[in-house]
A = this chain, B = another copy of it.
């Protein structure tokens, strides 16, 4: 995951248990100490390994934290709830739940901050976290197209741009809501957000997502 494994067949193999222990210890340290006060020596002690073992596997704090945080986002999945609106609300709530965990908050943001000055780290974040979750958008989109909720896009270039746009809007809004505005992305907020997004995408069932007589008062621009 973090270094080359070109089928190095000879010699003592690296302990997979140590990897798991180190990543778990990293997340625990993120919870208790946060990014800036997290030291590799402390992580090594928590994991029950020597500090030198850490440096043999990861180049530094940045790479270690990225790997530790990336595992959190692999929990995300997209169960079929019958409609595009419900699918989006479900996955957004999952995403918000992950961002509620302190190890995800401080770890992810700090890694992104460091990646602004480290091209290799930026690439690591892209492949380990960002691009990995774009699958959810792709899956939900094709599913909605099969249902007839979204029109098909003949031009593959435009389709790719739209997928990127949706991904940035969804993930960006949730992150900004929870971390910058400091307010919870609860069910009410997610419902409002989904309604705006679907209507913006030209979904024919955008209004159907809001059951009539639910008290009105939905987001209808103000």
Within the oligomer, what is the number of copies of this chain?
Answer: 2
What 0/1 pattern do residues 123 to 135 of A give for CB contact below 8 A with B?
0011000100000
Does A52 touch B at the CB level, under 8 Å? no
Residue from B61, B116, B151, B168 in contact with A176 in the complex, judged by beta carbons closer than 8 Å: B168
- Chain A 30-74 near chain B by CB (<8 Å), digits 1 or 0: 000111100000000000000000000000010000000000000
Give the Cβ gap from A171 to chain B, nearest Cβ, in Å: 5
Size bracket of the A interface: 35 or more
A93 within 8 A of B: no
Interface string of A88-131 (1 = CB under 8 A from B): 00000000000000100111111011111110001001100010
- Structural contact, B221 and A181, CB atoms closer than 8 A: no
Residue contact B196 to A181, C-beta cutoff 8 Å: no
Point out residues on A near B: beta carbons under 8 Å: 33-36, 61, 102, 105-110, 112-118, 122, 125-126, 130, 141, 150-153, 155, 158-159, 161-165, 167-169, 171-177, 179-183, 189, 192-193, 195-203, 217, 219-222
